Amino acid sequence: MATGCMAPELAGADEPGDLGSSADALASGNALSANALSANALSANALSANALSANALSREAAATLEDPGEGGELFRTLVRYTVSCALDESQRFSFSWADAAGATHHEVYHGELGLADAWADGPLDEAGKQIISACLAARTNRYGVSVVISMRSHQAPLRHEVGRDEREAYPHVEGAFWGNLFTEAPYLRACYNDASVELARAARRDCAAGHAGADGDVEGCGMIEIVGSCQDHCSKLHPPGKYHKDCVDPDWGKTRYVITTALR
């Protein structure tokens, strides 16, 4: 049974679950949200389990959250990453579910990045919907593997948390992500940095670069549509922050709620 919704209970910290951070990140003492580094092990399939409502979990979503089958597992993964993107480290989302054998599992998902922490107190606004969606897209991996990335944005708090040390450690901007999973027709977009396409693919970051199919065509990443080069769709990289301030979606026009990602 779910004991919280996206207006989650706020409490002290149980040990948060590891989302696949690298040994370097752990050794440096940096939690994933401390310097805006994220481990992107969210599988593309999990995004298709989208059943979130704007102000809480819908009845259908709550049922899916407690589903002991594969659909429940995918949706719990999606919710865990959503909480990580939206809430800050002082906030958490707790619920319980029973597996097929009847064993009860008590889950506690902790916030990390704090991109829409006001969700704890009320419905998501449009900005929150879009920046959470961008965060989820940026952390999606075609192969379900963890790759530590630097996430940057003109939006707070990422705008203030990514310092020069991180930018220098992660100098290769791979692309940018935006979209909205909270609409009747959810969508996610990505664009790539031409100079980093091969590097991104070598790092198994095909959700940014696009997967090169056998026929040479570039494939998307689950529901993430690769629109092309960021140079054609986004503003120039902000010199100090090394991020795109905004991008132009082919269907929805300009958006400021963009997350730029970079690799070592």
Averaged in consecutive runs of 10 residues, what is the pLDDT profile of the chain (264 residues)?
Answer: 37 33 28 37 66 61 87 84 90 92 95 91 90 91 83 93 89 95 88 94 87 79 90 95 96 96 92
pLDDT score recorded for residue 184: 81
Identity of residue 157 = P
Residues with Cβ < 8 Å from 178, sequence gap 6 or more? Answer: 130, 133, 134, 137, 188, 189, 247, 249, 255, 257, 258, 259
pLDDT score recorded for residue 16: 32
Instruction: Name the phi and psi angles at 166, rounded to 5.
Output: -70, -40
pLDDT score recorded for residue 148: 86
pLDDT score recorded for residue 5: 39
pLDDT score recorded for residue 42: 65
Identity of residue 207 = C
CA 137/CA 188 separation, integer angstroms: 7
